[in-house]
Structure 1
């Protein structure tokens, strides 16, 4: 080696660092590439994507050939620097130390950090290109890679480790939702919201979207026929629950369209309603919305009555309620219904106690907890563990509130102050 000119040794050193950088570039790009995007490209017939997917199908072999080349080249570079120092500095210990430091820095900068930073920034473009080189390299060095991996598998067996590639790339529902919300400009904002809501259908139950029983308009078969007729003529719904005597005694669901002809002829009778009404469809409390959507489809239903474990009727849920959870509100509000929120001049909001917490969070941008009670009234009762009196103040999750009206053991009207009012003199006193 003493007869080789210095410039040739330096050229060889540079080449070693460049090729080592190629392997570092390959390693990072292969590990950082989007697997789902890769599968899509492979299905589209992209040759580079197909080669990359094949390499990633056996990561032990891929890493084996990359690390084999990387370590051999780094070792050769270090050895070459040691030889250059020995030739020109006669085995001077200080020169050897400085040479070791220099080659370490060169490897870190030019063969490790810089290539890996570039590969992390452009993983797809680089991985698809280097796959054309790594594929034949793996075939050439396969015996060596197989021999090395034999010891790796033995070591993993001793440590009782069984890495599963399939489990590594499975997404949970939370991860999938985060992926959708972080898609940025790739998915329109409205589409992101719809997809995120669709993913949430499995965690949201029918109680979260149902209309509470005390807010449901229903027909009593024991009422006067004139009362029933007036109720049908002035209704803003297409379907009504029908009960006999007590609201708990639901006997069916009637579609208003089926009684329009009788309304023209003024021939509304209890017997006629019983003849056209459909048997009630009951939904167990706790049913996920996604499952209920499928059940509505299978049973050809659009409306169901939610019951608890004791068979008590809790509320009513419709197909439209579930669809609105996905795409947002699209039905018009009945003229007789007033909004459950009323903005005040001081910035506070007057809210009905029976309002669903999900509606408050969605429409007003609040962050009230959803893992317990479903309504504002239930949340306040859980907070106090008692029936509070009007004028009582409280603070839940950073939202100051004041109870304005209670009736029949229920909180009817609540004033909610914005979070920015927490330290204001207008805040209600905390309980």
Structure 2
């Protein structure tokens, strides 16, 4: 009977220890979410977690009381019989009493630490939310019973804690902790990835990455912009209108005598309007020019988030990207920004190139004008993205020279071979898969 009483006390102590760890480590956001879905136990647990000082006072009262009872029962009930048992072997009374007390206290302490503290706390930590729900109502009942003592301990704790926090210049956050930083939220998303579809995880992570992206990172470079030229033959213009896959097309005025030549942007043409004009048989340069909208220019350093907000508020779909000198660099479309969040559309424009991917030999061939971000995403690489935006620019910066074909370089641990170079740029690059290459992203690059 005496041993049974001690076992019960140790188990009750374990219940307090498990409750303490579970309610302190349980994610309050998850408890609140379960409570919003009608889980009353989760609501009770969330309420307790919101006031940790009150709850800890209740737990401390219970643990202290049980510790005292363990000492009283352990020494009073177990030490005398053990001492008499040793006296039966001829040990004198005083010595046997001391040895019995020491051994009983050591045994009770050991069991209290292992069974009453360590094991329950580990159980509470492993499944914090579930345990917190199970112990919430018992803890609330105990808190109500010990209310006077709890209020005294809570008031005393707060009276000491408040000036101490001010002295240490520690800001006390509501809800028991500091708000989560973006990096911590990102870590939570990664830790929870097994509970969500891979596509959803990718979208959430893209939302964090997009904070550091500018329109220059997502734009179509000037050399790859599909544009109309008012000075072309009408037959050429009509053929281009009927074969274009874009909704909006920049329109140039003047002939290009080089990269910058004498061209200027006349405006932006909505393809739907032009096709209606073509169908009516009244296509001419003057009519075409009358359909042009004023071009909208943005600096290359504009954050993508700010640009997306502008597109939403002004119902724009494309912007012409210019550098600090006002020279045209490329074109950024609403679809380009959306693709940065949800991934490449499966209904992308037809492409003369296949999706970028490693072949069986660990080799991939990429266009020199491909954005570095797309190369990283498609091949699972970690090429630097804080400098040049294209593969061509990255190689030129690394070599500090205009390379010729068959030149090999290694950038960020990735071996590359220049297959074709023309003029002042690298046209085709062959990449070799490094051993430490990351798993390729979920979205292939068209």
- TMscore range, shorter length: 0.7 to 0.9
Give me the whole-angstrom Cα distance separating, in 1, the residues matched to 2:436 and 2:344. Answer: 30
Is 1:380–2:395 an aligned residue pair? yes
The corresponding residue for 1:369 is 384
C-alpha contact 1:306 1:313 (8 A) present in aligned 2: yes
Is 1:35–2:24 an aligned residue pair? no
The corresponding residue for 1:120 is 125
- Can you list the C-alpha shifts for 1:63-105, whole angstroms capped at 9, x where unaligned? 2221232233224423543445654534644444433332221
Please show how residues 263-412 of structure 1 align to structure 2 within 5 Å. Answer: 263-264=278-279, 266-335=281-350, 337-339=352-354, 341=356, 346-412=361-427
The corresponding residue for 1:228 is 237
Runs of 4+ in structure 1 off by over 6 angstroms are: 342-345
Is 1:217–2:205 an aligned residue pair? no
- Can you list the C-alpha shifts for 1:269-297, whole angstroms capped at 9, x where unaligned? 22212211111122232333333222211
Is 1:64–2:57 an aligned residue pair? yes
C-alpha contact 1:306 1:317 (8 A) present in aligned 2: yes
More divergent stretch after superposition (79-88 vs 307-316): 79-88
Is 1:98–2:103 an aligned residue pair? yes
C-alpha contact 2:396 2:402 (8 A) present in aligned 1: yes
Q: 1:154 to 1:167 in 2, by over 3 A?
A: closer
- Can you list the C-alpha shifts for 1:143-185, whole angstroms capped at 9, x where unaligned? 3322431333344344333332458353333333332333244
Give me the whole-angstrom Cα distance separating, in 2, the residues matched to 1:47 and 1:365. Answer: 45
Equivalent of 1:244 in 215, 233, 253: 253
**In structure 1, the residue corresponding to 2:338 is in which secondary structure?**
helix
Matched residues, number: 415
Give me the whole-angstrom Cα distance separating, in 2, the residues matched to 1:13 and 1:192. Answer: 50
Is 1:172–2:181 an aligned residue pair? yes
More divergent stretch after superposition (208-217 vs 82-91): 82-91
Give me the whole-angstrom Cα distance separating, in 2, the residues matched to 1:421 and 1:98. Answer: 58
C-alpha contact 1:377 1:412 (8 A) present in aligned 2: yes
Equivalent of 1:144 in 145, 152, 156: 152
The corresponding residue for 1:4 is none
- Can you list the C-alpha shifts for 1:345-387, whole angstroms capped at 9, x where unaligned? 7542221111111211222222323233221112222322333
How far is the alpha carbon of 1:214 from its aligned partner? 1.0
Give me the whole-angstrom Cα distance separating, in 2, the residues matched to 1:379 and 1:184. Answer: 33
C-alpha contact 1:340 1:355 (8 A) present in aligned 2: no
**Normalising to structure 2: TM-score of the pair?**
0.83
C-alpha contact 1:293 1:322 (8 A) present in aligned 2: yes
Give me the whole-angstrom Cα distance separating, in 1, the residues matched to 2:66 and 2:166. Answer: 30
- Can you list the C-alpha shifts for 1:237-293, whole angstroms capped at 9, x where unaligned? 232111222666323110122112332455432221221111112223233333322
C-alpha contact 1:305 1:317 (8 A) present in aligned 2: yes
C-alpha contact 1:341 1:352 (8 A) present in aligned 2: no
Q: Which runs of 5+ in 2 are unaligned?
A: 84-93, 438-446
Give me the whole-angstrom Cα distance separating, in 1, the residues matched to 2:72 and 2:165. Answer: 32
The corresponding residue for 2:86 is none
Q: 1:160 to 1:257 in 2, by over 3 A?
A: closer
Is 1:134–2:142 an aligned residue pair? no
Q: 1:359 to 1:68 in 2, by over 3 A?
A: same
C-alpha contact 1:340 1:351 (8 A) present in aligned 2: no
Give me the whole-angstrom Cα distance separating, in 1, the residues matched to 2:401 and 2:108. Answer: 74
**In structure 2, the residue corresponding to 1:306 is in which secondary structure?**
strand
